[in-house]
Chain A
């Protein structure tokens, strides 16, 4: 039982950590400059000088993938960070006040759930033009209701605990109790959710960039590499396979990591183990 859970965690970490390391390295070094075009050397096969060959413009594919990983991780981090913090705040608010405040926040969350991110991104793109920041906003937006729900559910459980009553008996108000007791005690489910949403955000960024609603040229992005490679599918299928694999590894990695973290931190499962 325990080994099975640990597998998710370790597998996720094994996929995610090298990816983060590669992204970090690419900030200071990539084999080639990703803006460097070498049209004379396009569609080069993998070789010691170009590990994964070159694309239709003669750019080094390995360098492009490395740089694009930074883009993916940054977008996911910023979007989940923004949407997550806002969602957690709303969830804590709903839980602390209950009554009509809670009803209002949760109905708004339902509304947000019913609203596809893609639609929102297209709306933003129509209104303000397609851009990476609009894609981030759209992904952040879908994260708000997710985190509001998780935070409120977890917080409602903590509010019933005796140590919160003890804090109330000490004369603390709802805001103080929320910061002193509720937030620290819902950190685990929030972190788990954030890891899972990270995977969703990476996929969403790839999808939006694929549709031209995300990263704009010349910023490298897995999603855009995929859409550019699409027209060359018969000529050079590997150009689509590489970014596709990267997306799969990232999404799978963060998904497994999140599942693994949840299994390790969920007290209900812990009791089974004990």
Chain B
């Protein structure tokens, strides 16, 4: 099966400030030769401790950052080889849901304006109906479009962010810690919404979390990162059933100690 997203040996280095006069600091390798594939409609989970490079990888997939080595192929095209204009055109097909629902919506813009943004960007200017539909789809009142972000709770804002992400009918959603900032009780609702949408629209997802219990129920395959390197990569069930490394086992144990976030099947 041809992959929708094909991450091929990407590496990303950040220069570090010099600490000694004579010895330049070696660059920090945030992501080190990582490969992964996602087929259409499939979900890849990325887990790892803080600082393991999850966000950096997501940013490269979204084309916000260019890998120093390797390629990110979306639908067979190398994103970082496209011209800026061509990349902007492709963007409607892969969207992101951010961790912080308080920072991902412009406080000075109405909810409807934000949700319509991806539609305006592709030239759909009369999008009132589309915005109302998509707000309704994520469980909000279509009239909420006229209100402003500060009038909503964290969970509601994340619904708005999801509405914006699916408005342009993408094929891939990148969700970086999309439920970490939410109350445990709201988490399950948002995760269920994502799963429903995934089924309905045949969305592929790149689902990032430091919490294995969240990804367990959601992902087809799993990529475990540590210090920018791949620790384990394979079908989620296999890894969860029999983690091959101490590190994964620790992550798993930590997740089991947490109160269950409960994603009823």
Residues in A lying within 8 Å of B, measured CB to CB:
161-163, 165-173, 180-181, 184-185
Contact = CB atoms under 8 A, between A and B. Distances in A.
B106 interface: yes
Interface stretch (B31-39, B87-95, B238-246): B87-95
Contact of B118 (A162, A170, A185): A170
A162 B98 contact: yes
A90 to B, nearest CB: 23
Contacts of B15: none
Nearest to B149: A163
A267 B118 CA distance: 29
Contacts of B259: none
B46 interface: no
B98 A170 contact: no
Contacts of B120: 170
B164 interface: yes
Nearest to B104: A162
A169 B99 CA distance: 15
Contact of A169 (B89, B91, B114, B122): B91
Given A168-B64, A171-B121, A163 B95 contact: no
B96 A165 contact: yes
B103 A161 contact: yes
B98 A171 contact: no
Contacts of B88: 171-173
Contacts of A184: 106, 108-109
Contacts of A180: 106, 109, 117
24 contacts: A162-B99, A163-B103, A163-B105, A165-B64, A166-B96, A166-B98, A166-B104, A166-B114, A169-B62, A169-B91, A170-B117, A170-B164, A171-B92, A172-B88, A172-B117, A172-B121, A173-B88, A180-B117, A181-B106, A181-B109, A184-B106, A184-B109, A185-B107, A185-B108
